[in-house]
Structure 1
Amino acid sequence: MTKQKYTVLILILGSLTALGPFSIDMYLPGFTAIAKYMHTSTDEVALSLSSYFVGIAAGQLLYGPLLDRFGRKNPLYWGLGLYIVSSMGCFFSSSLEMLIVLRFFQAVGSCAASVAAMAMVRDLFPVEDNAKVFSLLILVLGASPMLAPTAGSYIAAAFEWQIIFLVLTIIAVLILVSVIFWLPESYQPDPSYSLKPGPIIGHFITVLKDAQFVTYAIGGAFAFAGLFAYVSASPIVFIDGFKVSGTQFGWIFAGLSVGFIGSSQLNSLLIKKYKSEQMIGAALILMVIISIVFFIGSLHHWFGIGGTIAMIFGVLCCIGISAPNTSALSLAPFTKNAGSASAILGASQMAVGALSSIGISVIKQHSSLPMAAVMVSSSILALLIVFIGKRFIKHKVEASGDVVVAH
């Protein structure tokens, strides 16, 4: 593979991976404007974020079997088409209920992009390079929290909040064009792959019987929940709690993303020397420590805006290290069922993320305490799941360094 082709693949796969998060981050600064337009509260508007997470969790289970049956690109076309139609529907939304429903379908469309991208990493690159490739995807993904909320804040300030969804529609159209012309089909359709409920469930069960997958997919999902807690609660914490403006919030969000992006790129260097398993263990232990300090500090009102930003930055750094490694180790054992494995991996992340988001909405407190509570509980659970689960892995496949080692 030439360097130019490698770069193009990373950019397209990264764009597919970033579509969902971009759809989340860009409209966060518009929460206040949406609430005012629809005569409701920002807590209620946050339910449109929860419905998005639920849509991604459900949709990924749908696309996994389709990707294994029809190849990667055809289901991707349908998903991007659904996303484009739903985004235009959000543009015309006149009620919160309508927005919540359309955000669900927008998410179902966007998750085709993320599931296909993850499966194609497994198809197109050697397994020993997967952790490195996931780190590079996170670099592209990092454009979302850096650009989306800042752009969204300026759009909401200069125009109506609906324009945010028009911009998302245009972005999706551009991604669809790049997929059509520059992304190769990486997996030939498999006519023998049945789409009947029984065989599909059978494929999912096969994936779920793999102890390595369960350990790192579920453990990684709970670690990743810290990111969802931050995304869901950040408008409430900074805009409602610390009274920053929409544009100020966009810049804070962009600055905090440096922790997530920077640590993921540091991971691509560290992975040359350390195993993914070692990286995950160190990141989760540090995440638990920072989250405990954040929770206790939030409980006793120790932190102002600077301290809150510092605590969130630390947690995001830990997630940036753990996420590419848990993803790589989860998918490492699979070739034939990579689509189904990618679907369950993504669905577990989004299901746990949806729970954390709903938890933030339920705890109606305009402070960092709900965010910190979710972060500390999810990080402790992640550490326990990985620590206990890896003892049950009998045939471990490691995706670190330059060699794949099967035990």
Structure 2
Amino acid sequence: MVRHGAFAYTWDLVGDPAAVERFAALGVDTVTLQAAYHSVRATTAWHPSHRVVHAEHAAAYFPIRPERWRDLRLRPAAPTWAVETEDRFGTASAALAAAGLRTEAWLVLTHSSKVGSSAPDLTVRNAYGEVFGYALCPAQPAVREYALMLVQEICELYDIPALVLEACGWLGFEHGSHHEKTSGADLSASARDLLSICLCPACARGLDVDAVQLAADIRTTVDRELQLGVAAGQNLVEALGADRAQAIYDHRTHVITQLARDAAALAGDRELLLMATDDPQVTGPDVGADLTAFGSRPDAFVLKCWDDEEAAIGRVKTAVVRTGVPLVANVNALGERPEELSALATRLVEAGASQLRYYHAGLASPARQAAIRAAVQEVA
């Protein structure tokens, strides 16, 4: 039996008595509900009080208990938008539970411009010494404490069966920024990956290489591409050599797996789902790591299947063979061809996915909601 779920924001539900019925009508049994999340602007087509919610910064959608954060350097901010209640997550999850829908707490751990701007020394620092203020570095002990406290607070405040962790590692250059103006430089994927390598003091210590020389070589390679048009190679191995690329992959996998294990220990008997990819070169919301290094936890990997259909199918098949861990296929109902959602969902399950999550029920138009409904009915 395939479990079907849909992503949602708290403001899709809080203050709208009819919202739960709309979600239940999709046929899903699970809602992946935002508990700690980055800045976003979102439509709310049916809400009685608003049509556009502008979450201006990352925030916690549960009550922030000052005594729990007092001794930590980093702490989340409270939202000031769509204010119907202080406990948005609790209110929304209670409404879902009353309708028989299972709630997963969706936690974004290291993506926060708000927190990053308060502690730039704890953010990702590239080879030029430039900080990515939206990207907290998980190799920093204070960042780990912050991330784990988010997990602990959700577990202590709510009786929910599962946690979904997003951004459990590094965000990199590809994340983008306000009014992005980088496309004209024609940076290759390899150069973007080079700019995503964190060389903050914690990462410099964790890498088993000469970090000063590594930074110099990254700058030389990227500048040759930016200024002379000489490609940086196809990947980090070509750009930096096999040994240094492997050192970066090993460092990332070690930090990410340890953070995931610590989160799993806090989660106890709750399911822990990790948004991930098996490409250790990747930085972003879906962490890139050696998925075979995690052991028995997390309980499932959430694989993003938003790109080319064949690539998504291949990703699922590879992960099934390599990990033996249950796989959740994250499919995009907001893409260009929603009418193909059922066929994609069918193929992903045939490839080995045991669960499906549809992104995003609150943002979906009537036609896209119909596509989610059809996919749920088609894939039993």
Q: Give TM-score, length-normalised by structure 2.
A: 0.28
Higher helix share: 1
